[in-house]
Structure 1
Amino acid sequence: MSDSSVHLVDRGRVYADMGYVLDGYSMGSASNPNPDHETAEFVVWNAVVDGPDQTLLWDTGSNPKAGDGYWPAPLYDAFSHVDAAEHTLEADLDAVGYSLSDIDGVVMSHLHLDHAGGLEAFAGSDVPIYVHEEELKFAYYSAKTTKGSIAYLASDFDHDLNWRIVHGDEHTLFDGFRLYHLPGHTPGVMGAHIETPEGDVLIAGDECYVEGNYADEIPLGPGLLWSDRHWFDSLQKVKELERRTGGDVLFGHDLDRFRSFGSGWNV
């Protein structure tokens, strides 16, 4: 059993239509051709994993200038991070008792703009930035061409960073902290299994935005899904990990789920 702790870091709120998150949520029909749409409140979060010999940061949140023209206007209109300006990485880390200088490494679940917006804080340093091979390739392909996805911004990750590339399906960072490749939302999403004295933590991340993606196996909406087939296979991988470990499953943006875990585990 690893003597690790997982500190949850609240990085603010995003408002978006539930139809983006749960496929078919507000689809019209012959009897109801114009259904009501529901805008929901979602959380952006990071985590500090304090291990026996190193302290790792999970993701870096949105750039504080997201609502000031930094994010593409169509994307911000669909996913409004309304309080991004109030949530700098340095201030939010300080709120849970850490500083940037405490961070020995950063694990990027993926490089979408609500996860990679704080990477510039580590530019020019020797802090390792762990990212899956498939994610880094797709991020650059998307940001540097007119193909791929609008959700990648070169200004988030095209810095002098100490990239550490994760290959394959699994990667152990240290005893009690293992990464898993979970393609579907993007080609290179990573989740994690973290052991703590208070129980195991399973980070599903954006493989499952909310409870409905996991419990009801409803896919993400088409705008958030790179591959439906890969998404389903990754979902089964997370569910098998839960059956095997009994761990708490942490979703990518589910506010109620995030709040249910309080400050984290072993904190």
Structure 2
Amino acid sequence: MSDLSVTPVDRGRVYADTNYVVDGYAMADAETPNPTHEMAEFVVWNAVVDGPETTVLWDTGSHPDAGDGYWPAPLYNAFEHVDAADHRLADDLDAAGYALDDIDAVVMSHLHLDHAGGLSEFAGTDVPIYVHEEELKFAYYSAKTTEGSIAYLASDFDHDLNWEIVHRHRHTLFDGFELLHLPGHTPGVMGAKLDLGDETLLIAGDECYVDANWADEAPLGPGLLWSERDWFESLQTLKELERRHDAAVLYGHDLDRFETLAERLG
């Protein structure tokens, strides 16, 4: 096993209707024509992966001005990142014991606005930014046309960045750090398999927002699902890896799972 360590970095809280992340969570029917909707608390997080020679940042979080007009109002009303202004990337890295200059590479699980909001910190540098080919194409298609998804902002990623394109379904970044293509939430979501010496950690990314997506195999809500068929296939890929390696799994926005694994990994 490889000598890797993972430091989860808390980037704040988002509040949203649970129906967005669990399909059919509160459905109307004849007996309950006006079901109660539940606003839930979700975590935004990054992680620093330390290898023998390379320090990698996983995702970059939301832009600190998300709630101050940077995010379009309809999106912010649906996914309210209430403390984005208190979670600047440099500050949160510092709290975790790292500086921006310590980061040798960045892996973008995908380019949605709650993941790509700190990419501008690496503009004009030679820090490689790993992204899947399908994700970069879809992000630009979405941000630069009226098609695709509204969850991409060109101002997050349309910079002078040192893109490193991942083309295949599996890509070894370095020994013990394997990137996994997990389409479903978007065309180019990436997760990872990390060998930590005494255990294996799977990063599911937004393939699974919360435990219900994993444990109950409940799909994401339609607004967050690019392809349900691909999502299900990606889920089974992760579950097979979990069984094979007796792995721990870190989801995209599940607060309880994040806090449990952060305490264990820390």
Match of 1:76 in 2: 76
TM-score by length of 2: 0.99
Return the alpha-carbon distance in structure 1 between the equivalents of residues 197 and 231 of structure 2: 31
Matched, 1:40 2:45: no
Contact 2:108 2:131 in 1 (8 A): yes
The aligned counterpart of 2:138 is 138
Please give the alpha-carbon distance, in whole angstroms, between the structure 2 residues aligned to 1:10 and 1:73.
24
Q: Secondary structure at the match of 1:49?
A: strand
- Counterpart in 2 of 1:91? 91
Identity %: 74
Where does residue 21 of structure 1 map in the other structure?
Answer: 21
Partner of 1:53: 53
Q: Map 1:45-194 to 2 at 5 A.
A: 45-194=45-194
Post-superposition offset of 1:16: 0.2
- What corresponds to 1:11 in structure 2? 11
Q: 1:247 aligned to 2:213?
A: no
Supply the distance in 2 between the matched residues of 1:57 and 1:247 (Cα, whole angstroms).
21
AA aligned opposite 2:182: L
Counterparts of 1:252-267 in structure 2, within 5 Å, are: 252-263=252-263, 265=265, 267=266
By how many angstroms is 1:261 displaced? Answer: 1.1
CA positional deviation for 1:264:
5.5
1:78 deviation in Å? 0.2
CA–CA separation in structure 1 for the residues paired with 2:93 and 2:139: 26
CA distance in 2, matches of 1:206, 1:96: 23
Shift, 1:197, TM fit: 2.3
* Structure 2 unaligned regions, length at least 5: none
One-letter identity of the residue aligned with 1:224: L
Measure how far apart 1:262 and its partner are: 2.7
CA distance in 1, matches of 2:112, 2:9: 18
Superposition pairs for residues 218-229 of structure 1, below 5 Å? 218-229=218-229
The 1-side partners of 2:264 and 2:190 are apart by 20
RMSD: 0.7
1:134 Cα offset (Å)? 0.1
Task: Specify the SS of the correspondent of 2:219.
Answer: coil
Matched AA of 1:217: E
Is the deviation greater in 198-207 or in 37-46? 198-207
CA-to-aligned-CA distance 1:109-132 (integer Å, 9 cap, x gap): 000000000000000000000000
CA-CA distance at 1:247 after TM superposition: 1.0
| Contact 1:7 1:264 (C-alpha < 8 Å) held by counterparts | no
Q: Deviations over 1:75-132 (max 9, x none)?
A: 0000000000000000000011000000000000000000000000000000000000
Residue of structure 2 equivalent to 1:208 = 208
Maintained 8 Å contact 1:191/1:205:
yes
Counterpart CA distance in 2 for 1:256 and 1:264 is 12
Could you tell me how far 1:168 is from its partner in structure 2?
A: 1.3
> What code does the residue aligned with 1:232 have?
F
Distance in 2, matches of 1:117 and 1:197, equals: 32
The Cα offsets for residues 58-86 of structure 1, whole Å up to 9 and x where unpaired, read as 00000000000000100000000000000
1:263, distance to aligned residue in structure 2 (A): 4.3
User: Are the counterparts in 1 of residues 203 and 249 from structure 2 also a CA contact under 8 Å?
Assistant: yes
CA offsets per residue over residues 127-171 of structure 1, 9 Å max, x none?
000000000000000000000001000000000000000001000
Aligned length: 266
Q: Deviations over 1:22-64 (max 9, x none)?
A: 0000110011010000000000000000001100000000000
Contact 1:47 1:57 in 2 (8 A): yes
Match for residue 235 of structure 2? 235
Q: Could you give the per-residue CA deviations for residues 220-249 of structure 1, whole angstroms, max 9, x where no partner exists?
A: 000000000000000000000100111110
